[in-house]
């Protein structure tokens, strides 16, 4: 029975969302608001349960150590400093302290992580051309990757050498390379778009399959 009711609600909400394909309508807005509201409510409950309640409980029960209490007190103080942001903004500058800590630590962490985990590894992989040591396909792929990377980077040049800038005419080869780089970028975007469309089509398939299951369950009962 639970599956029937739950499946019915899911089917109804799915049809409400799919009705947006025809036109905007109250059913679509209702379902959208319901889903967003439910998600936000659930997130709030999770944050309260996972971030606040355990620390308060441990502090009140006396099971928390000194370090945990210190960390909890610091977090509580920084959180209270955010409160002047509400209301008439009196003393809102106090909120700059926790915000500065948050953004400063986050930026430092993200920058270090990006350099260490994304930029340098991908840059080294492109420069080292490690695929040249493999088979022929790997070697061809490595060379093509390097060329396409160069063409893509060339397409982002927006200045001309002095002589070409005076004449106002860009060299033909340079212009062709830039155009080829733009084509590669558009191809990349096309791949991203196709992947996104595939995902959404899979989502549509999944919803339709869910509706079919519910209809099957409904017909059996």
Residue 121 CB, nearest approach to other proteins (Å): 7
Residue 176 CB, nearest approach to other proteins (Å): 23
- CB of 155 closer than 8 Å to CB of 181: yes
Q: Which is nearer to other proteins, 165 or 186 (CB)?
A: 186
Residue 151 CB, nearest approach to other proteins (Å): 17
Q: Which is nearer to other proteins, 43 or 165 (CB)?
A: 43
The three-class DSSP label of residue 211 is helix
Q: Which long-range contacts (CB under 8 A, 24 or more apart) does 15-18 make?
A: 15/211, 18/207
- CB of 172 closer than 8 Å to CB of 179: no
Q: Which is nearer to other proteins, 30 or 202 (CB)?
A: 202
Kindly write down the DSSP assignment for every residue of 127-168, as one continuous string.
HHTGGGGS-HHHHHHHHHHHHHHHHHHHTT-----HHHHHHT
Residue 172 CB, nearest approach to other proteins (Å): 24
Q: Which is nearer to other proteins, 4 or 43 (CB)?
A: 43
Q: Which is nearer to other proteins, 114 or 147 (CB)?
A: 114
Query: Encoding tokens for residue 214?
Result: 């519910």
Q: Count CA within 13 A, CB hemisphere, residue 196.
A: 6
Residue 149 CB, nearest approach to other proteins (Å): 11
Q: Which is nearer to other proteins, 93 or 200 (CB)?
A: 200
Residue 87 CB, nearest approach to other proteins (Å): 26
Q: Give the span between the Cα atoms of 65 and 71, in whole angstroms.
A: 10
- CB of 131 closer than 8 Å to CB of 138: yes
Footprint on this chain of other proteins (rule: CB under 8 A): 21-23, 39, 42-43, 46-47, 49-51, 53-54, 57-58, 63, 105-106, 109-110, 113-114, 116-118, 121-122, 125, 188, 191-192, 195-199, 201-209, 212
- CB of 126 closer than 8 Å to CB of 143: no
């Amino acid at each position: 029975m639970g599956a029937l009711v739950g499946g019915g609600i899911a089917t109804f909400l799915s049809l409400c969302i799919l009705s947006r394909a025809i036109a905007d309508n109250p059913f679509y807005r209702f379902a959208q608001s319901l889903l967003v509201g439910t998600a936000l409510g659930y997130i709030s409950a999770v944050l309260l349960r996972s971030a606040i309640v355990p620390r308060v409980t441990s502090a009140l029960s006396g099971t928390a150590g000194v370090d945990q209490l210190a960390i909890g007190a610091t977090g509580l103080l920084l959180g209270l400093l955010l409160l002047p942001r509400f209301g008439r903004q009196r003393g809102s500058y106090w909120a700059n302290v926790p915000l500065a800590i948050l953004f400063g630590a986050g930026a430092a962490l993200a920058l270090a992580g990006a350099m260490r985990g994304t930029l340098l590894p991908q840059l080294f992989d492109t420069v080292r051309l490690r695929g040249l040591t493999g088979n022929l396909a790997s070697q061809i792929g490595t060379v093509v990757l390097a060329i396409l990377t160069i063409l893509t980077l060339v397409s982002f040049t927006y200045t001309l050498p002095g002589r070409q800038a005076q004449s106002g005419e860009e060299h033909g080869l340079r212009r062709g390379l830039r155009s080829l780089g733009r084509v590669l970028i558009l191809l990349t975007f096309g791949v991203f778009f196709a992947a996104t469309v595939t995902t959404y089509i899979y989502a549509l398939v999944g919803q339709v399959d869910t509706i079919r299951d519910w209809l099957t369950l409904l017909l059996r009962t």
